[in-house]
Amino acid sequence: MTTTAVAPAKKNQTFAFRAEGADGKPKTGRAVASSRESAIAKLAANPEYTSILEVRQTGTTAVGKKARPKARAMVAASRQLAMYLKVGYDERAAITEILDDGEIGDIVLAHGLTEVLKDMSSEGIKMHDAMAKHPYIFPELMTRTLAAGDKGGFVAKAANQVADDLEAEDEQRAKVKKALTYPMVVLVLSSAIFIFLMMYVVPKFGAMYVELSKGKAQLPALTRMVMAASEQMAWAVPLLVVIGTFGSFWYKRNSKEMHVREFVDPLKLKLPVFGKLFRDIALTKFCRIMASLAENHVHITDALTITAGSVGNVVMEKAILKARDGKLVGKSIMEPLREEPLFPKMLIKFLALGEDTGETAESLTEVGKLYARDVDHTTNNMEAYVQPIFLVGIACMVLIIALAIYLPYFSLGDAVSPY
C-alpha cells in the first residue's frame, strides 16, 4: 500500500523588504514565506544582500491582470512541481513547498501560485483548473497537459513533460533573441546616424545654399525633398518614439488576445527571412508537443486541443482545431492539415505513417528533429542573412543624403557668379 506524503499546511504570506545589496546600494522587493522570521532567514541567506533593513507583511502582491512571469522562473517552478509530485506530494502540498522555498524570484509567478493555492483550498478545484483562471501567468500548454495527466492518472509525469516543454521553448526563445541582437544593434545605430544627418547636417547645407545664392538658385528636386523631410523630423522623430514605445507596451500586454493574433500571426509568416523562422518554430512545437502527448497515451483529440493552443501561430492553430473537429466525427486528421500550406508534405507523410502504424510519437519526434535543426541553422546564420539587407539600407540612406547635399554644387556656380 502506497502512502501519499502530504506536507504540513503552511499559510504563505507576502513580505516587502528593504536590504543593502552587495554593491552597497539599497534594494527593495517582495518575498513569499510562511512567516516573517522565515522570510528574514531566506533573505539573510541570499548572497546578494549584506544587510536586511526591514521586512514587513504586505498581504497579496499587487499584480496586473495581464502581467506575465519570467520564462526562467516558470521553468524552475515547473521542474520543482514535477519533482514534488513524483515523490508523492499532493498538488496543494507541492505548491506550498514551492512557495515556501522562497526561490521563485518572480513576483508575478509567486502571486499566481498563491492565488492557485487559495482557489484550491477555498473552492476545492483541481490544480489545472485553478491555473486556467490565470491564462497570462500559466500557459495553455501547462494547464491542458496537467488536465490530461489528471484525467489519465499520470499527473506527475505530465508535470515533468510540462517542465521539459517549457524548458525547450525557453531555450529556443533564447536562441532567437541572441540571433536578433546583432541586427537590432545595427538597426538602432543606423537609424541614429540617419536621424543625426537629417536633423543637423542637411539643414546646415540647406541654409548655406540659400545664403550663397541669395535665394536665386533652384535646388534639385531630390535636395528639396530631403530638406522638406528634414524640416519635419523635429516633431516626427519624438512622435515616432512615443508611438513606438506605446505600441510596444500595448502589444506586450495584448499579444495573446485573439483579435491581435489574427492580425499579427499571418504577417509574421510573410516576413523575409523571419517568416520561415516563425514557421519552422511553430512546426517544431507541433511535432514536439504532439509526440510527447502521444508518448503519454493522451487521446488524439485531447492532444490536438493541447497542441493547437501551444504552437504559437493562430493560422496553424485553426488548422489543428479543424483536424480535431474532423476526428471527433470519425474522420482522419490528414485532410484538414493538407489544406493548410503551413504543413509541409513531409510532415503530413510522417504523421500519416504514425497514425497507420501506431507509432505517432516516434514519427513526429524524428521529423521534429529536422525542423529543430532548420531553426538552429537559421538562428545561427541570422547575421549572414540580415547583414546584407541592413548594409544595403544604410548605403541607400547615405547615398540619398550625399546626392541631396552635393547635387546643388552643379548649379550653384551660375547663381553666385558675378559674370
Q: Nearest to residue 17, comparing CAs of 1, 319, 44?
A: 44
Domain spans of the chain? 13-138, 274-380
The CATH number of domain 274-380, selected from 1.20.81.30, 3.40.5.90, 1.10.1060.10, 1.10.3720.10 = 1.20.81.30
Q: What is the DSSP secondary-structure string of 332-385?
A: -SHHHHHTSTTS-HHHHHHHHHHHHHT-HHHHHHHHHHHHHHHHHHHHHTHHHH
The dihedral built from the CA positions of residue 184, 185, 190 and 191, taken in this order, carries a sign that is positive
SS3 category, 330:
coil
SS3 category, 33:
strand
Could you say which residues of the chain have pLDDT below 50?
1-9, 59-61, 415-419
Residue 19's Cβ-side half-sphere holds a number of Cα atoms within 13 Å equal to: 25
Q: Which residue has the cell 501567468?
A: 137
Residue 378 grid cell:
537559421
pLDDT score recorded for residue 301:
84
pLDDT score recorded for residue 242:
92
Query: Whole-angstrom Cα distance, residue 364 to residue 35?
Result: 48
Q: Nearest to residue 48, comparing CAs of 67, 73, 75, 29?
A: 29
Residue 168 grid cell:
525547450
pLDDT score recorded for residue 271:
84
Q: Residues 281-324: pLDDT tens digits?
A: 888 888 888 888 887 777 888 888 888 877 888 888 888 888 88
Contact 78, 142 (CB under 8 A): yes
Q: Nearest to residue 15, comparing CAs of 33, 28, 41, 3?
A: 33
pLDDT score recorded for residue 1:
41
Contact 84, 98 (CB under 8 A): yes
Distance of CA 303 to the CA centre of its chain: 23
Count of CB atoms situated within 10 Å of the CB of 198: 22
Query: Whole-angstrom Cα distance, residue 241 to residue 111?
Result: 33
pLDDT score recorded for residue 101:
64
Query: Whole-angstrom Cα distance, residue 45 to residue 48?
Result: 9
pLDDT score recorded for residue 243:
92
* pTM exceeds 0.85, yes or no: no
Rg over CA atoms, the chain: 29
